[in-house]
């Protein structure tokens, strides 16, 4: 797949399960450290699914969620677009052949050197939420197209952002619009991010309506190029959750938005959450008594400084399964510790799981969101290595799709397959 920038992906027969492949990696490749299995087909399926469910909304993959090179190159091969927050992220996607018009610099507060770099390479769409940021851009990049980020939170979210970023969506936003007019810059549109993950599907529709009204205000203020609504991210990638409900809310709201308005989004976890599976090996074990309860303490070769930042933040606690069949399904009170010296490096603080022994492999599903991107090298431990894989039939489908996209590019077409919506 080198011709498409997708070298390094191993192709397996269709009948091979993820567990089959992970066992092969351990037994044949003699892998001893924790590792991720990346199912590339899952990423491709999510991209296609988004275009089918929300055909008017151009997804811009939020690189901060997972900057794995294979993920970036796969989305690029599918003619994808990107939400970048720094010079380094812009560099990474442009090295994959992504043109600057397919990038939004969606960090409301940007470093000076990062703005200079964006100007150098032609990334001109960027978010703002303060007059100070507008003034900075006026001095450094007066040609920039400004997207005002408004502060709206969903009612049901893992974490929210409006305290850190976003204008109050009425008077404060209008004042910022007036300032942009005063300094003579281009107001390009409005954006929001409801939270991550966000389970309040109806909030997307409400926020789109708010942005649509703000565009009408912008038109009355003399901003003819204000033609963008960015609906942010926060949509889960786990099957059966979020995307269908969000799509219904978004599509209904967009019926009232003029077709000339471009609609984009910044999904991150949607693309990668279920594509990554983590395998970690039990390195140590002891039995302790706490408060009269006998517990199994396990020590595995990953932790909260690596793949399990979400556990450290209290955003989730996911129990592992066993890669190999265990002698018994009987469960015991257990604690799973990470491999660093930090006493807070605890993955599972107290749950019942089957009995494991040293050398056994634990497996966690749905590990693609904010795991690799938040990993550190504390105590010298590197991030778990990623093994990208794809099944043969999916490989052939992907080849045909990428070939069609490349042919379309050669013919001068922007191949987004958005049912008539193109840019």
Question: Known catalytic residues?
Answer: 341
Q: Please, are residues 90 and 118 in contact by the beta-carbon 8 Å criterion?
A: yes
In angstroms, the CA 110 to CA 36 distance is 32
Residues counted in the chain: 423
In angstroms, the CA 359 to CA 282 distance is 5
CA distances from 82 to 67, 102, 155, 260, 368 (A): 11, 6, 27, 21, 17
The answer to whether the bond into 59 is cis (omega within 30° of 0) is no
Strands (E), 99-227: 103-105, 125-128, 145-149, 186-191
Q: Please, are residues 66 and 268 in contact by the beta-carbon 8 Å criterion?
A: yes
Q: Please, are residues 66 and 98 in contact by the beta-carbon 8 Å criterion?
A: no
Q: Please, are residues 66 and 368 in contact by the beta-carbon 8 Å criterion?
A: yes
In angstroms, the CA 174 to CA 218 distance is 8
């Amino acid at each position: 797949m080198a011709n498409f920038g997708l070298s390094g992906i191993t192709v397996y027969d269709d009948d091979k399960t993820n567990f089959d492949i992970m066992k092969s990696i351990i037994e044949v490749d003699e892998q001893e450290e924790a590792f991720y299995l990346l199912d590339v087909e899952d990423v491709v399926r999510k991209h296609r699914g988004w275009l089918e469910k929300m055909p008017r909304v151009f997804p811009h993959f939020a690189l901060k969620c997972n900057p794995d090179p294979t993920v970036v190159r796969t989305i690029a091969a599918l003619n994808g677009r990107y939400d970048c927050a720094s010079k380094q992220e812009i560099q990474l996607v442009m090295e994959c052949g992504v043109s600057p018009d397919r990038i939004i610099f969606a960090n409301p507060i940007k470093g000076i050197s990062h703005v200079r770099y964006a100007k150098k390479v032609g990334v001109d769409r960027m978010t703002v939420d303060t007059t100070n940021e507008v003034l900075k851009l006026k001095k450094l990049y007066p040609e920039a197209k400004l997207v005002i980020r408004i502060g709206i939170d969903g009612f049901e979210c893992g974490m929210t952002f409006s305290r850190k970023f976003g204008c109050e969506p009425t008077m404060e936003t209008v004042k910022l619009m007036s300032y942009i007019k005063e300094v003579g810059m281009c107001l390009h549109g409005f954006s929001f991010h409801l939270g991550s993950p966000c389970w309040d599907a109806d909030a997307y529709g409400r926020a789109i309506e708010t942005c649509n009204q703000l565009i009408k205000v912008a038109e009355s203020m003399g901003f003819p190029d204000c033609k963008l609504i960015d609906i942010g991210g926060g949509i889960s990638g786990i099957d059966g959750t979020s995307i269908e409900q969000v799509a219904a809310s978004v599509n209904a709201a967009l019926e009232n938005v003029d077709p000339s308005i471009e609609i984009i989004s910044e999904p991150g976890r949607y693309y990668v959450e279920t594509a990554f599976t983590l395998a970690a090996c039990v390195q140590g074990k002891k039995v302790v008594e706490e408060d009269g309860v006998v517990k199994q303490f396990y020590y595995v070769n990953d932790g909260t400084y690596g793949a399990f930042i979400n556990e450290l933040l209290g955003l989730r606690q996911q129990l592992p399964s066993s890669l190999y069949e265990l002698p018994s399904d009987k469960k015991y009170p257990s604690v799973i510790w990470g491999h660093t010296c930090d006493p807070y490096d605890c993955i599972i603080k107290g749950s019942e799981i089957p009995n494991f022994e040293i050398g056994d492999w634990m497996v966690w599903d749905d590990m693609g969101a904010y795991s690799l991107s938040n990993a550190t090298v504390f105590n010298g431990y590197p991030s778990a290595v990623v093994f990208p894989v794809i099944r043969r039939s999916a490989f052939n489908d992907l080849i045909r799709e990428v070939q069609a996209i490349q042919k379309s590019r050669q013919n001068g077409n922007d191949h987004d397959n958005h049912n008539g919506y193109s840019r």
